[in-house]
Amino acid sequence: MSGEMMDLLGPRRRAAILFPMPMPEPFDYWIPEDMELAAGDHVIAPLGKREAHGVVWRIEDGHVDRKLKSLLERLDAPPIPESTRQFVDWAAGYLVQQPGIVLRSVLRSREALSPSPTETLYARSGGEPARMTEARRKVLDVADGSDPMTAADLARSAGVTASVVKGLAEAGALQPEIRLVDPPYEVPDPDGAGKDLTLLQVEAAGTLRRLAMAGGFQAALLDGVTGSGKTEVYFEAIAEVLRRDPTAQILIMLPEIALTEAVLGRFTARFGAEPAVWHSGAGPKNRRRAWREVAHGRARIVIGARSALFLPFANLKCVVVDEEHDPTYKQDEGLAYQARDLAVARSKLAGALVILASATPSLESLTNARSGRYVHVRLPARPGAAVLPEIATIDLRVTPPEPGHWLSPPLLEAMRETLERKEQVLLYLNRRGYAPLVLCRACGHRMMSPDTHAYLVEHRYTGRLVCHVTGFSMPKPDTCPSCGAEDSLTSVGPGVERVAEEAARTFPEARCAVYSSDSASGAQIVAAMEAGEIDIMIGTQIAAKGHNFPNLTLVGVVDADLGLAGGDPRAGERTFQTLVQAAGRAGRAERPGRALLQTHQPEHEAIQALVAGDRSAFLDLESDMRASLGLPPFGRLAAVNFMARELEPVERVAGDFAAAAPRSEGVDIWGPAEPPRAMVRGWHRRRILVRADKSIDMSAFMRSWKARVKLPSSVRVSIDIDPYSFI
């Protein structure tokens, strides 16, 4: 029956469908009379000349004065919950992004919409086949000593074909059993035995438990020094949430995938069930299982990276953002967002408790705690005999390393003393590879990444030059590509591999290991360090986050000034946070620890505050500076980024965009300008930076501005609310 005829019979129901695509709004469709549909359901709808998967955003009644197509199919899958749909709409508005792009971050696993696939496993039944062969005997011998296995695995272990296994099943000697490939997760026990807490930890845990008992949206900053037991404290809040609501779901966000394994073990020991894991390294099968179980409400605890924030939780009641200060919570490419801030917003929409935990809280979170928006929960000391490490500087202007070396005499002496006591050393340098720059001694040519304004980093272990921006790599050439001089390429500056080379050469008896994001066996390196099988670890920032090495008593920061350069308004704060985290790896058990910072700027306020242990003084200075300039958290920032294959259109569009800016008091606009990396992967880049007073709705201002300009398809334009990267 035609749509016109149906209109004569009375009002029809229609659905607004949001597709996970770059579209500005949901599209309307007629709902077939025989289709039961509700908001949040997954459907298949005609879109142009194809069929597409979308989500019902709302259902409406009444006539419309335009022709509509009908929906084709409703998928039998758990609906996207209302709080998740509200979060998508809110995030799209706040980030000045199309809602379909945000929805795409939610619908990451199309396979998870279907029920779990099954597999047939075979186990020994106890009977004997009427006819026994050598091949059958091999299979039965394997089956006698193993758990149920698939036919392929059983045949492979016995060295026979799968037909032998199936023949034994038909003869009754093997019992087939159908199991889910993606089984549900075990239910956590909130009353599992936890560690004994100190009086300070009991008090902090009590505050968080009271917030959980109050119900609804609550926000807390768990501010504890390194090694103070923050994880055990927020475990108590999670347990209280689970006791209050048996169907509650909890999300724990971590800044680094490498931290997941250690935290998984602690969760399993405390709650008797392994949490679901969600991050890019989990693999398609594990992500499919996690997404499906989260959507059904059966995954009760989820540990994940920032993207886990977009999972379709059926009953989200608690969010923990561990190491909330960490800059990796900010995503710069694609959908640009700060996961910490979005976690607070999602918790508010879901009526959940959010806990932000850190030894070095961000100035944004501390300001919210000081103003009373967050409950400020403090852990000022380590438990037991463990004390905070003694921190001192080594002025490289006074005691520099020997020429061609990177470790100063005072640091080498401290390392020698530490190793003689059979204790461990961590050398911290946040620079991957062997050397950050390779140049020609003959002509001065610097090895650059093709189509990118970035130097190639030498990785001597692999013999390659690598771009850490694009991932491009090439073998290190024997001749200069510019002048052709042979053996003229020299390495400039240290990376962790070069520092490791110096440490191994200076202490030949010591067992050294490099730990960075390039490490193929990071979990094994961490386990070996914990077991005392490594004497000197040389690591990047990944080694300074969340690890507990009981025998580590000396941390040497090779270049404490590394993060202070450039125009980043958060440079001082980040340097302070990084150095506190690195130094905090030392002395976490019975033995006291110390940290030595090699620096050319021992008088810098961040380094001075660290040595004095006076965080408040540093943060007061940082707050005054930011407030005087109107920078976050006392003002707002946004960036407009332009990219094009050709230089002329990117400059023209950036200029036209700047000229169309709305006039508004309390808003400063800088640019367009060329960023430090003016070209990436062959794309020319320009940027406009916007600063606004805190009273101004930056998102609304940027939406209004963007609507004034018609953008050509040849230029990519993206808006970044609260940018963190200035390169």
Q: How many domains does the chain have?
A: 5
Are 212 and 326 part of one and the same domain?
yes
| Residue 205 pLDDT greater than 60, yes or no | yes
Mean pLDDT, to the nearest integer, of 481-498? 93
Q: 514 and 663 share a domain?
A: no
CATH code for the domain in which residue 138 is found? 1.10.10
What is the average per-residue pLDDT within 414-439?
Answer: 94
How far is Cα of residue 299 from the mean position of the Cα atoms in its chain? Answer: 20
State pLDDT tens for residues 540-577. Answer: 988 887 778 889 999 999 999 887 766 678 888 988 88
Angle, to 10 degrees, between the axis of helix 615-629 and the axis of helix 605-612?
A: 150
d(CA 542, CA 261): 13
In a domain, 222, yes or no: yes
CB of 428 within 8 A of CB of 549? no
> What CATH number is given to the structural domain containing 220?
3.40.50.300
Mean pLDDT confidence for 44-55: 95
Confidence of residue 581 (pLDDT cuts 50, 70, 90): confident
The answer to whether residue 695 is domain-embedded is yes
- Domain assignment present for 447: no
Residue 514 tokens read as 């490099």
Residue 385, pLDDT above cutoff 70: no
| 211, pLDDT greater than 80 | yes
What range does the domain containing 553 cover? 390-431+494-624
How far apart, in whole angstroms, are the C-alpha atoms of residue 530 and residue 562?
A: 28
Angstrom distance (rounded) from CA 110 to CA 377: 41
Q: Is 89 a member of any domain?
A: no
Rounded Cα–Cα distance for residues 532 and 512 (Å): 11
Tokens of 643: 């990219």
* Listed residues 344, 379, 414: the one ending a domain: 379
512 — pLDDT class (breaks 50, 70, 90): very high
Asked if residue 43 belongs to a domain, the reply is yes
Q: Locate the DSSP E strands across 477-593.
A: 489-492, 512-515, 536-539, 552-557
Q: Which residues contact 199 (CB under 8 A, 6 or more apart)?
A: none
Q: Are strands 13-18 and 27-30 parallel, antiparallel or unpaired?
A: antiparallel
Q: Pick from 84, 321, 356, 316: which is nearest to 219 by CA? A: 356
Tell me which of 379, 408, 442 is where a domain ends: 379
pLDDT(4) > 90: no
Same domain, 311 and 360: yes
Domain boundary pick from 567, 600, 624: 624
Measure the CA–CA gap between 551 and 421, rounded to whole angstroms: 10
| Residue 597 sits in the same domain as residue 661 | no
Token pair for residue 457? Answer: 């980093």
Strands (E), 457-517: 457-459, 464-466, 473-475, 489-492, 512-515
Same domain, residue pair 711 and 608: no
- Are residues 44 and 140 located together in one domain of the fold? no
Q: Are residues 264 and 212 in the same domain?
A: yes
- Residue 193 inside a domain? The answer is no
The CATH number assigned to the domain holding 15 equals 3.40.1440
Q: Is residue 539 part of a domain?
A: yes
Q: What pLDDT does 333 receive?
A: 85
Q: Tell me the C-alpha distance between 99 and 477, whole Å.
A: 47
At 653, phi and psi to the nearest 5?
-65, -40
Read off the pLDDT of residues 139-179 as tens digits, 9 standing for 90 and up. Answer: 898 888 788 989 999 999 989 998 998 899 888 889 899 99
**Does residue 462 surpass a pLDDT of 60?**
yes
Read off the pTM.
0.89
- In this predicted structure, the answer to whether residue 7 has a pLDDT above a threshold of 60 is no
pLDDT range class, residue 189, cuts 50, 70, 90: very high
Is residue 10's pLDDT more than 70?
no
Mean confidence (pLDDT) of the chain: 91
Report residue 126's pLDDT band, with 50, 70 and 90 as the boundaries: confident
Shared domain check, 141 and 20: no
- The CA distance from 112 to 295, in Å, is 9
Does residue 234 sit in the same domain as residue 326?
Answer: yes
Residue 187 located in a structural domain: no
At position 75, the amino acid (one-letter code) is L
pLDDT higher than 70, residue 405: yes
